[in-house]
Amino acid sequence: MAKDTLSITDNRTGKSYEIPIENDTIRAADLKQIKVQDDDFGMMSYDPAFGNTAACISKVTYIDGDNGILEYRGYPIAELAEKSNFLEVAYLLLHGELPTKSEYESWVHNIIHHTIVHENIKRFMDGYRYDAHPMGMLLGTVGALSTFYPEAKDIFNKQIRDIQVHRLIAKMPTMAAFAYRHSMGMPYVYPDNDLSYAGNFLNMLFKMTELKYKPNPAIERAIDILFILHADHEQNCSASAMRNVGSSLPDPYSATAAAIAALYGPLHGGANEGVLQMLREIGSVKNIPEYIKKAKSGEFRLMGFGHRVYKSYDPRAKIIKEIAYDVFEVAGKNPLLDIALELEKIALEDEYFVKRKLYPNVDFYSGLIYQSMGIPMDMFTVLFAIGRTPGWLAQWIELLEDPERRIARPRQIYLGERDRKYVPMSERGKKKKA
């Protein structure tokens, strides 16, 4: 009968070891028993960027990259996008179950109660330069919230922790919209809690002189779906940052600021900006064959194609493509859409891209949608952060409740110099005598 173990023979010593296998995984610490000398530290695994290392056990999000499956708490992303709304999905991520009617009403009430930010936050944001990037403003402001709510440091008090969760989900759109209005030189718009979560965000972005802002239902729904699609994505760079910083047990505002900082990088949250820049560079449908040729030769990178996890069509991309047309119908067709559609068509038929499983990802169409709504490019990642907030918080809470939680402390392989002799400054640079 087969055993759930891995047998390893160390050819340096001739010793054999039997390592337990659980969930198709071995524990890296079990490798430490493999030594040449008794006083050795023991064998480590080397895995740059954690491409094949499970850093935690999670019940939040399931991804099957080969088959293009994404599930939140077991629910397919397409079903949630079709039948649910963002706040309901946020509850699901954080509590593990879809809410009952009374639970949902209480949850929404708690979120609405915290949408207003302290007036000092406004003054804090006024301190940024007129041309400050909204993502940088959001990063700094979220971190600053830890000074407004010092009780948030009591992270193992569930009641206090829940309040901080409500605050972060509620205030993120407010701070994001304030950052946008600051960058535009426009007065801040306060929340209107008669509106939906997405509708209120649009109100804070775009309200002008009208007494009551009324969001377009198609655009309101599209924003809500985009928030759902970005709500969580397993152990990505920003979720890992949330967990790594969270492992030292700071307040959730500090950990969330770290997650935002990770998302700020162009390789994580800025990919949809790259897609728009690429489409502008291509300029016309007739130029696509030339750029496809450049991409194959390595001269040009096709942005919005391929994914670290998905080796088939990104399930989020399919949903975004569908809602794109609803937005274009009311906001006007994005002039870059024809280039995007033709580029997608050619890439999906070209053996070079098919062989490498370079399918469109979530970023391919999202930038086109945001642009059609009148949202500038430097706000794209900010919207990503709003949607991802409940996922970050779900990952953080799961970390805190993990019985195996320890402060993150990766090992390294040291290949630098050893046992060097100190040379006084007066002697440095002098050639040694023959």
In the structure, what pLDDT confidence band is assigned to residue 121 with cuts at 50, 70 and 90? very high
Q: What pLDDT, on the 0 to 100 scale, is given for residue 434?
A: 59
Q: DSSP states of 49-96 as a string? A: GGTT------SSEEEETTTTEEEETTEEHHHHHHH--HHHHHHHHHHS
Which residue matches tokens 């971190």? 143
Residue 432 has pLDDT above 70, yes or no: no
Instruction: List, in order of start, the domains of the chain with CATH numbers.
Output: 85-404 (1.10.580.10)
Q: What is the pLDDT of residue 327?
A: 92
Q: Residue 56 is which amino acid?
A: C
Active-site amino acid positions? 268, 307, 363
pLDDT in tens, 405-416: 999 999 999 999
d(CA 19, CA 33): 10
> Given the structure tokens 């194609």, which residue do they identify?
305
Task: Categorize the per-residue pLDDT at 129 as very low, low, confident or very high, splitting at 50, 70 and 90.
Answer: very high
- List C-alpha distances in Å: 44 to 13, 107, 258, 412: 17, 45, 28, 9
Q: Kindly report, residue by residue over 163-177, the tens digit of the pLDDT.
A: 999 999 999 999 999
Task: Report the interhelical angle of 252-264 vs 237-246 (nearest 10°).
Answer: 150
Distance in angstroms between the alpha carbons of the first and the last residue of the chain: 70
Q: What's the whole-number average pLDDT of the chain?
A: 93
Confidence of residue 309 (pLDDT cuts 50, 70, 90): confident
Instruction: Identify which of 411, 73, 395, 414 has the alpha carbon closest to the alpha carbon of residue 244.
Output: 395
Residue 351: pLDDT band (50, 70, 90) is confident
pTM of full prediction above 0.85 = yes
Q: Tell me the average pLDDT across 345-370.
A: 86
Inter-residue contact 148 to 122 (CB < 8 Å): no
Is the confidence at residue 378, as pLDDT, over 80? yes
Tell me which residue of 224, 211, 213, 114 sits closest to 169, measured CA to CA. 114
Quick one: pLDDT at residue 1? 57
* pLDDT for 288: 92
